Amino acid sequence: MLFHVRMDVKIPHGLPADEVAGILAREKAYSQELQASGKWRHIWRIAGQYANYSIFDVRDNAELHDILSQLPLFKFMEIEVTPLLRHPSAIREDDT
């Protein structure tokens, strides 16, 4: 199943810099692992915001929930999820 996910990150200003750096390093490693596996198919930064739009290709809602809740930045995020279905006019067969 494909999901469109918007993630807005809101790290508290008082969090120590070394703690933030560690969280960001773990976040990058985890997200790149998911991208390499094909589960996190696309990620785009939203200009001017600490936010992104992403496309996930996962088995079901539960798998997406597990992936998102394991993000190191999860507790600092507001997340909006939209399930996607193939459009009948789409010409690419690999967009399922």
15-33 pLDDT, tens per residue? 999 999 999 999 999 999 9
Which residue range forms the structural domain that includes residue 36?
A: 2-84
Residue 21 lies in a domain: yes
Residue 30 lies in a domain: yes
Residue 91 lies in a domain: no
pLDDT band at 92 (very low <50, low <70, confident <90, very high): confident
CA angle 85-73-20, nearest 5°? 150
pLDDT surpassing 70 at residue 96:
no
pLDDT, position 87: 87
Token couple for 47 = 């200009």
Residue 95 lies in a domain: no
Residue 78 lies in a domain: yes
CA distance 72 to 56: 17
pLDDT surpassing 80 at residue 95:
no
pTM: 0.90
Percent of the chain with pLDDT over 90: 89
Look at the chain and report how many structural domains it folds into: 1
Residue 64 lies in a domain: yes
pLDDT surpassing 90 at residue 86:
no
Token couple for 8 = 């807005």
Residue 92 lies in a domain: no
Residue 94 lies in a domain: no
CATH number at residue 46: 3.30.70.1060
| Amino acid, single-letter form, for residue 24 | L
